[in-house]
């Protein structure tokens, strides 16, 4: 993470021992290519509640979600990318290694999933009522 911060980035994308994308320093990673959502297999990444939530939201929207080993080169040519996590929630990734991801702006699938996630988490949508607990 320190190397990424020293290079002017907010976060690091970690690779596993074989050079495949694993996760962020405290987040799970997703990328979009040709309308398909990809996320690393859990062989080198921690399972995340937010990851599972976003995968469910995506599948329920009719998106194909594939868990696979992802190379750095695949990220370079992705249309969109984002992190998920308790603190990150759904955070778009605009750039990796001084290369813009897609158009260098949050993409439409990322933004749709982010909106849907926030709507559910903040109680504006009751599609999954068992996901929310009212705290008084």
Torsions phi, psi for 115 (to 5 deg): -60, -45
Torsions phi, psi for 55 (to 5 deg): -60, -40
pLDDT at 133 over 90: no
Distance CA 87, CA 84 (A): 8
The residue that leads in pLDDT, 31 or 134, is: 31
**Closest listed residue to residue 35, CA positions, set 66, 57, 12:** 66
pLDDT tens string 42-56: 998 889 999 999 999
Number of domains the chain contains: 1
Distance CA 30, CA 38 (A): 6
Q: What is the pTM of this model?
A: 0.91
CATH number, position 11? 3.20.10.10
The mean pLDDT value for 97-117 works out to 96
In a domain, 134, yes or no: no
In a domain, 132, yes or no: no
Confidence of residue 101 (pLDDT cuts 50, 70, 90): very high
In a domain, 23, yes or no: yes
Extract the tokens encoding 96.
């990796």
Domain with 80 in it: 2-127
């Amino acid at each position: 993470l320190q190397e990424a911060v020293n290079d002017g980035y907010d976060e690091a994308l970690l690779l596993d021992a074989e050079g495949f994308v694993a996760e962020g320093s405290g987040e799970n990673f997703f990328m979009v290519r040709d309308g398909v959502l990809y996320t690393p297999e859990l062989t080198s990444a921690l399972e995340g509640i937010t990851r599972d939530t976003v995968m469910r939201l995506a599948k329920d929207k009719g998106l194909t979600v594939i868990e696979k080993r992802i190379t750095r080169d695949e990220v370079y040519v992705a249309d969109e990318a984002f992190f998920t996590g308790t603190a990150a929630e759904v955070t778009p990734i605009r750039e990796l290694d001084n290369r813009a991801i897609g158009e260098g702006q949050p993409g439409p699938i990322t933004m749709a999933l982010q909106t849907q996630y926030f709507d559910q988490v903040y109680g504006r949508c009751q599609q999954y009522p068992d996901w929310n607990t009212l705290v008084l």
